[in-house]
Amino acid sequence: MSPLDVVLLSAVILLAAAVLVGLVLGARALRRLNTQPIGPTPEDPSYTAERERHEQSLATLRTKAEEVSTTVDTAKSAAAAARAEAAASKAEASSARAEARRVLDTARAEADTVLERAHKQAEQDAEQLRAAARRSGEREAAMVAATTKEHAADVERRAARMDERERLHSEEVERLTERERRLTAATAELTERGQGLTAREVAIAEAEEQRRRELERVANLTAEVARTELIESIEVQAKREAAILVRDIEADARSTGEQRARHIVVEAIQRVASEQTAESVVSVLHLPGDEMKGRIIGREGRNIRAFESVTGVNLIIDDTPEAVLLSCFDPVRREIGRLTLEKLVLDGRIHPHRIEEVFESAKQEVERLCQRAAEDALVEVGITEIHPELVTLLGRLRYRTSYGQNVLKHLVETAHIAGIMAAELRLDAPLIKRGAFLHDIGKALTHEVEGSHALIGADLARKYGESDEVVHAIEAHHNEVQPQTIEAVLTQASDACSGGRPGARRESLEAYVKRLERIEEIAGGKTGVEKVFAMQAGREIRVMVKPDDVDDIGAAVLARDVAKQIEEELTYPGQIRVTVVRESRVTEIAR
């Protein structure tokens, strides 16, 4: 409880005590009057006048008591206003306390004055009162006592409410104080951090400026001059490389124009008839005549033994007219042997020493062809920076086939498909194309290193500095390692698209045709079916039904039955749409 509330409560208690004292004194005066002999009769004019005067005195006393109550209420109202203003502002609280003290002093003075006047008037009136005045005084005293008790109870209730409000106010002040303390601490901490950051920025700026000055001092050049020289050197280098590139392109175009033209024609034909090989481990060389077979065998077979020993290719000479077979599981070695034998046949001089010389020449020629094929594939895909050893291995894939599909062309096709997918998905197209292009690089060493070509290719890519994304795409494209990146998933998808398209591989073509035939058989075996068309490489089936035999509900049931039977009997990628077409025609003749 604040000092102001204590003062106000004390004032109220003093006023109540003063009223009680006045009532007690009035009661004593009445008792004294009761003990005195009865004076004039009520009918006496003097008694009537005295009684009226006594009643006026009592009325005056009531008025003063009401003024005291009003003054008390005014003091309480002023105290409540002072407390409200104290919560809003400390300055207004001080003013309210001063006003409350002034009101309290005034109330005390008025109470003392009223009490003194009431005491004197009571003593004067008590001497003149009679029995009637005594009864009237007792009733008034009882009423005043009841009123005083009510006022005292009301004062106690208000005092209790004031105490509760003061307690809540004190708690709120404590919370605000604690919050202000925390805000002050946070502000100080932020200020300190801001100063630290400012100092750090200044230090960084000074260090950067010092580093720049040191670089300029070491290089003996300013930043602008160094930038100018760098731009000029890059421009000169770019022009030189462009000139070299143009010269190489022109030379390559002149030297390989006819070869590229034949290649374009062959590739155009291959789009209609997919390339296949009858036997991937055998090459056939046509001879100008059967007498050349004896020269190839040599005296007691020394030439053929020397050829097989030097080239590592088995030479099969059978009854096939004007042709010999070269067998080897290594396609590059087989191609070197074929070129060696072709040159020996054209030259006509066949002996062990000549075989070694021609073998070296053919080996270098095949290496050049492999290098050129790898470079052409890289240019077509758009890959510029790659390790030379990987380029060599890619060139060896020119003579490597997988189920009748050329591996190097398969890599180029896979890279294009992956790049298109990446562009559609707004991903890193160069990175995904790189991973797709190198995914079968391990097939270049499958005849030399044991293991899966995916893991072999991943080890090669990791060895020659490819990124982790490319390495993971290579090792995961056949699920030897679980795919973890979008690059690996797109590499798998593009590999499946290139190898699984109709005509790309011999076994896939046969399975594709059988699947289409089975789909048409399933749909054609249903009741009411007139025609069946397999469309979009087997991804959609159009079933034409007879409108007289199949109604609309029956068409829906037929489509569901065909789709369910296809799901149960066939294995296929993606999904197959079954569309049942029921056409109704009504014909009338107008005469």
**Which of 122-131, 171-180, 198-207, 482-491 is least confident?**
122-131
Residues in the chain: 591
Residue in this structure with the two tokens 């498909």, named with its chain if needed: 417
For the chain, which residues make up each domain, given as ranges? 93-190, 391-399+408-503, 506-590
Q: Is a pLDDT exceeding 50 seen at residue 38?
A: no
The DSSP code for 319 is: S
Q: Which of 90, 65, 79 is nearest to 15 (CA)?
A: 65
Q: Is a pLDDT exceeding 60 seen at residue 37?
A: no
Distance, CA of 398 to CA of 389 (rounded, Å): 15
Q: Which CATH number fits the domain 506-590, given the four candidates 3.30.460.10, 3.30.70.1350, 3.40.50.150, 3.90.1150.10?
A: 3.30.70.1350
At residue 209, the pLDDT reads 81
Q: Which range, 47-61, 253-267, 466-480, is most confident? A: 466-480
User: How far, CA to CA in Å, does 570 sit from each of 63, 114, 500, 520, 534?
Assistant: 114, 117, 16, 12, 15
Q: Is a pLDDT exceeding 80 seen at residue 360?
A: yes
Distance, CA of 82 to CA of 42 (rounded, Å): 54
Q: Which range, 253-262, 314-323, 345-354, 459-468, is most confident? A: 459-468
Distance, CA of 550 to CA of 561 (rounded, Å): 14
Structurally, at CATH architecture level, domain 391-399+408-503 sits in: Orthogonal Bundle (1.10)
**Which of 17-31, 318-332, 432-446 is least confident?**
17-31
Look at 4 and 530; give whichever has higher pLDDT.
530
Q: Which range, 140-144, 205-209, 288-292, 562-566, is most confident? A: 562-566
At residue 355, the pLDDT reads 84
Q: DSSP string of 244-290?
A: HHHHHHHHHHHHHHHHHHHHHHHHHHHHHS----S-TTEEEEE-S-T
Look at 182 and 266; give whichever has higher pLDDT.
182
What are the structure tokens assigned to 70, written together?
């009003």
**Percent of the chain residues topping a pLDDT of 70:** 77
Q: Which residues of 551-582 are buried (b: 16+ CB within 10 A; e: fewer)?
A: eeebbeebbeebbebbeeeeeeeeebebebeb
Mean pLDDT, the chain, as a whole number?
A: 77
Look at 81 and 379; give whichever has higher pLDDT.
379
Measure the CA angle with vertex 209, ends 203 and 212; round to 5°.
140
What are the structure tokens assigned to 46, written together?
């003097």
At 124, the amino acid letter reads Q
Q: How confident is the model at residue 333 (pLDDT cuts 50, 70, 90)?
A: confident
Gyration radius (Cα) of the chain, Å: 59
pTM above 0.75, yes or no: no
Distance, CA of 47 to CA of 133 (rounded, Å): 11
Distance, CA of 491 to CA of 461 (rounded, Å): 15
Q: How confident is the model at residue 507 (pLDDT cuts 50, 70, 90)?
A: very low
**DSSP E strand boundaries for 101-210:** none
Determine whether 483 is exposed, middle or buried from the number of CB atoms within 10 Å of its CB (0-12, 13-18, 19+).
Answer: middle
Q: DSSP string of 490-549?
A: HHHHHHHHHHHSTTTSHHHHHHHHHHHHHHHHHHHTSTTEEEEEEETTTTEEEEEE-TTT
What are the structure tokens assigned to 142, written together?
């009882």
At residue 268, the pLDDT reads 32
Q: Is a pLDDT exceeding 50 seen at residue 269?
A: no
Q: DSSP string of 51-110?
A: HHHHHHHHHHHHHHHHHHHHHHHHHHHHHHHHHHHHHH-HHHHHHHHHHHHHHHHHHHHH
Distance, CA of 90 to CA of 69 (rounded, Å): 30
Q: Is a pLDDT exceeding 50 seen at residue 139?
A: yes
At residue 91, the pLDDT reads 66
At residue 266, the pLDDT reads 39
3-state SS class at 326: strand
Q: Which range, 75-84, 85-94, 367-376, is most confident? A: 367-376
Residues 117-129 have a mean pLDDT of 73
At residue 270, the pLDDT reads 42
Contacts 24+ apart (CB under 8 A), 177-182: none
Distance, CA of 15 to CA of 578 (rounded, Å): 104
